[in-house]
């Protein structure tokens, strides 16, 4: 993580703390392999990573696995109902313990059958009783921080990281306001997208609706853009509209809902977005997972009152999968190509005093989190 890659260079325009004065981060931050490697350590190994919903770990013995880039982690519900998380690797010879999700009373390695209880303690290592000085306590699974926040499960590989509820103070109140029954939702569906773009391009795109009117005709037919506002806080930002344009929009049709709600979305550092659509209760997550410097895997998970969606919820899911996501993916893949052009390096944030629906201040907020995490130098005369 040496200076030339992560520091701004002499021909770069300044990235500043004030979004109204700032240029965007340089284009190379979106495709340089050394920047990508630095992000693994500085961002993803130190941040809270979404891995599922409480409903997916409802019973003692239930487990799920998640990849934090190249690190596999298993999250389990132990016999007393507590959540535990461990690196998903046997302490004998390094074989992965489990795959996917399921329910087990004991985590048994398929290689040599070392067995661990749901608190991570080694309970059986065949023939170890004949090994002089063998101490099972020395071979417990390596723990990872885990937290249930409003029914959403997060893990963090950094043992010194502040708790998620401290870092994201205030987010829970907002989530419960727009989805009061969030803890009791159940997992219904996962949609997967393979995108030829850097993960930050996808986050940038989510964080502004400057592009909504020209690029998302059905979305602006659903959501009242005049009431759409973005607000930034700590490690998250909110993106909400208080009205719908029509309950029979081009996006999907639903019965009358709340009169103070048109759409709600959140970005949660570093790579999670959360969505609530109008109509019947629902919440979905869209996670952008880097797969190299210029490729991203997206997982969109839907959580609804029952595993089988109603027609209205199914229509919303279809709209998201077949219309809105392809529109955004096309935009982002084109941006990724343009970032490598010899004719581009940086742009200028469009930010107005009112922080209107056209303002890009939330994009700046995210890019500043990136800049700070990578310890990239800000313009010394302004910051």
Cβ-contact 176, 283 below 8 angstroms: no
Q: What is the Cβ-side half-sphere exposure of residue 107, based on CA atoms within 13 angstroms?
A: 37
The Cα–Cα gap between 38 and 112 comes to: 36
Cβ-contact 310, 280 below 8 angstroms: yes
User: Per-block average pLDDT, block size 10, for the chain (383 residues)?
Assistant: 58 93 96 95 96 97 96 97 98 98 97 98 97 97 98 97 98 97 97 98 98 95 94 98 90 81 96 96 97 97 96 96 97 98 97 96 98 73 44
Q: What is the pTM of this model?
A: 0.93
Nearest to 347 by CA among 6, 43, 3, 19: 19
CA angle 229, 232, 237 (to 5 degrees): 80
* Those residues with Cβ within 8 angstroms of residue 375's Cβ, 6 or more apart along the chain or in another chain: 6, 42
Tell me what pLDDT residue 4 has: 40
DSSP letter string over 255-280?
Answer: ----TT-SEEEEEETTTEEEEE-SSS
- CA 378 → CA 18, 252, 351, distances in Å? 11, 44, 19
Q: What domains are defined for the chain? A: 52-156 (2.102.10.10), 168-371 (3.90.380.10)
Tell me what pLDDT residue 377 has: 55
Tell me what pLDDT residue 3 has: 40
Helix residue ranges, H only, 258-347? 311-319, 325-339
Tell me what pLDDT residue 2 has: 39
Tell me what pLDDT residue 229 has: 97
Cβ-contact 322, 304 below 8 angstroms: no
């Amino acid at each position: 993580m040496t200076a030339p890659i992560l520091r701004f260079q002499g021909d770069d325009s300044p990235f500043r703390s004030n979004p109204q004065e700032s240029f965007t981060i340089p284009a190379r931050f979106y495709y340089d392999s050394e920047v990508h490697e630095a992000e693994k350590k500085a961002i993803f190994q130190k941040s809270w990573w979404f891995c599922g919903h409480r409903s997916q770990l409802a019973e003692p013995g239930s487990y799920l696995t998640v990849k934090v880039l190249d690190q596999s982690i298993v999250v389990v519900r132990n016999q007393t109902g507590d959540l535990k998380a461990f690196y998903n690797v046997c302490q004998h010879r390094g074989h992965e313990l489990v795959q996917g999700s399921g329910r087990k009373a004991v985590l048994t390695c398929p290689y040599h059958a070392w067995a661990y209880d749901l608190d991570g303690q080694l309970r059986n290592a065949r023939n170890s009783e004949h090994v002089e000085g063998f101490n099972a306590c020395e071979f417990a699974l390596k723990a990872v921080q885990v937290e249930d926040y409003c029914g959403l499960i997060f893990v963090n590989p950094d043992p010194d990281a502040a708790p998620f509820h401290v870092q994201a103070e205030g987010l829970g109140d907002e989530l419960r306001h727009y989805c009061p029954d969030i803890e009791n939702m159940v997992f219904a569906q996962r949609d997967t997208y393979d995108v030829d773009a850097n993960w930050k391009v996808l986050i940038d795109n989510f964080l502004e609706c400057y592009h909504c009117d020209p690029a998302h005709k059905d979305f602006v037919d659903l959501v009242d853009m005049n009431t759409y506002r973005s607000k930034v806080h700590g490690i998250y930002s909110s993106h909400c509209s208080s009205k719908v344009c029509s309950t029979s929009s081009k996006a999907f049709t639903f019965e009358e809902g709340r009169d103070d709600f048109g759409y709600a979305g959140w970005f949660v550092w570093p790579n999670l977005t959360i969505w609530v659509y109008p109509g019947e209760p629902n919440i979905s997550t869209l996670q952008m997972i880097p797969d190299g410097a210029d490729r991203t895997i997206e997982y969109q998970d839907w959580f609804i009152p029952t595993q089988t969606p109603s027609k209205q919820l199914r229509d919303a899911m279809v709209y998201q999968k077949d219309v809105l996501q392809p529109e955004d993916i096309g935009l982002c893949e084109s941006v990724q190509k343009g970032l490598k052009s010899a004719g581009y390096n940086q742009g200028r944030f469009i930010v107005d005093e009112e922080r209107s629906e056209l303002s890009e201040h939330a994009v700046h907020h995210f890019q500043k989190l990136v800049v700070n995490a990578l310890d990239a130098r800000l313009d010394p005369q302004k910051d």
